[in-house]
Copies of this chain bind each other. A is one copy, B any other.
Amino acid sequence: MKKLINSPATVLADALRGVEAAHPDVSVDYANRVVSRGADVKQGRVALISGGGSGHEPLHSGFVGLGMLDAACAGEVFTSPTPDQMLAATTAVDAGAGVLYIVKNYTGDVLNFEMAAELAAAEGIEVKSVLVADDVAVEDSTWTAGRRGTGTTVLVEKIAGAAAEEGRDLAAVHEIATRVSENGRSMGVALTSATVPAVGKPSFDLPDDEIEMGVGIHGEPGRKRVSLRPASEIAEELVSSILADLDFSGAPVIALLSGLGGTPLIELYLMYGEVAALLEQRGITVARALVGDYITSLDMAGCSLTLLRADEEMLRLWDAPVNTAALRWGV
């Protein structure tokens, strides 16, 4: 295993030091492993919290800031954060208008965020949760009942964050977050496995001439292993799988082509070119696009495609100012 780390046991703690050093506008609670906005909490605004296992950066800590998350709870690599962490984040950022939890559909995350919501309620903080389960590859998975939650999470965080920034109440922020979650679909492909630092070897074996179509962001098995093939054919499979699951016709689409951590930007743009051409052929209009590393899987090579069937309100909230480490415009 070749990684820029000190020891497998300190990866998360050491990385959080770097986040705080690079971004003076966020603050890090090292005891609870919570990254939150450094600025004073704005009274009366709904607060947004997400979190999950580490190894998917910039998700979630890179999305903390104006117009997006108020706090991110970082678990150990590929391990859910605990209810205690989530509660600490909740009490830190609640501004009296309630808190929205944005939860990717992995059993540990779901259970722990549910428990945290109960603990928060006991302290008088109203919490609602939105579940993201957008990965069309498979039903049920290694750590998931139902579908896994992947790239749509980024879009929920952005759009619901903008809604909260506008001063909408918790019910309204929850409503639009749910609408985004329900209208987003994703699928990924792995060219290599990731290596979890504490394990020290690749999570799965993938022959040199094979790829895993529909892989999960922790290396969960996808739909099938197929031979390595041209990017155009891989794009065709991702696009057609997503379009078979939801009708995207007639709506503006927000597209996210995310790298999985080990794939360079030149390949991501190349893949996005294929995706854009396929969508255009099918008469689907991409209104906004993001290409880069937004939801990753450590050093896994590959990418994931997320398409959101958006509407004018979502586009307006998408375009609203955002000021985070990984997504920034309008400010």
| A contact residues vs B (CB 8 Å cutoff) | 2-7, 11, 14-23, 54-55, 57-58, 62, 77, 191-192, 208, 211, 228, 230-232, 234, 257, 261-274, 276-277, 286, 289-291, 293, 296, 298-299, 301-303, 328-331
Compute how far the CA of A85 lies from the CA of B16 in the bound complex, rounded to whole angstroms: 44
Beyond A231-B5, A262-B299, is A289–B22 a contact (Cβ under 8 Å)?
Answer: yes
Q: Do A21 and B272 have beta carbons less than 8 Å apart?
A: yes
Decide: B191 and A266 in contact? CB cutoff 8 A. Answer: no
Chain A interface, DSSP helix/strand/loop, else mixed: mixed
User: Do B55 and A298 touch (CB < 8 A)?
Assistant: no
**Of the residues B230, B262, B289, contact of A264 by C-beta under 8 Å:** B262
B230 touches A6 (CB 8 A): yes
Q: Within the complex, which residue of B23, B262, B270, B277 is in contact with A5, where a contact is CB–CB below 8 Å?
A: B270
Can you list 21 residue pairs at the A/B interface with Cβ under 8 Å? A4-B270, A5-B230, A5-B267, A7-B230, A11-B266, A14-B231, A15-B273, A16-B269, A17-B273, A18-B273, A21-B273, A21-B277, A22-B289, A54-B266, A77-B266, A264-B296, A265-B296, A293-B293, A299-B301, A329-B331, A330-B331
Give the residues in chain B near A274, CB-CB below 8 Å.
6, 14, 18
> Would A301 and B261 be within 8 Å (CB), given that A266-B57, A291-B22 are in contact?
no
**A2, A55, A57 — most chain B CB neighbours (10 Å):** A2
* B329, A270: Cβ atoms closer than 8 Å: no
Give the interface centre of A266, A276, A290 by most chain B CB atoms within 10 Å.
A266
Excluding A14-B231, A18-B276, A262-B301, 8 further A-B contacts by CB distance (< 8 Å) are: A4-B267, A6-B270, A11-B270, A17-B270, A17-B276, A20-B273, A57-B266, A265-B296
| Chain B residues positioned under 8 Å from A16 (CB to CB) | 269, 273
Give A262's nearest chain B residue, CB to CB.
B262
Q: Are A265 and B261 in contact (CB under 8 A)?
A: yes
A14-B276 in contact given A5-B231, A265-B293, A293-B293 (Cβ < 8 Å): no
Assembled-state Cα–Cα distance A230/B4 (Å): 7
Residues on B with C-beta less than 8 A from A303 are 4
**CB contact between A266 and one of B265, B267, B298 (< 8 Å): that residue:** B298
**For A272, what are the chain B residues with a Cβ–Cβ distance below 8 Å?**
18, 21-22
- In whole angstroms, how far apart are the Cα atoms of A231 and B3 in the complex? 8
Q: Is the CB of B268 within 8 A of A21?
A: no
Cα A33 to Cα B56 in complex, Å, equals 34
Q: Within the complex, what minimum Cβ distance (angstroms) separates A164 from chain B?
A: 22
The answer to whether A62 and B299 touch across the interface, beta carbons within 8 angstroms, is: no
Let me know if A21 and B191 touch, CB within 8 A: no
**Are the C-beta atoms of B234 and A4 separated by less than 8 Å?**
yes
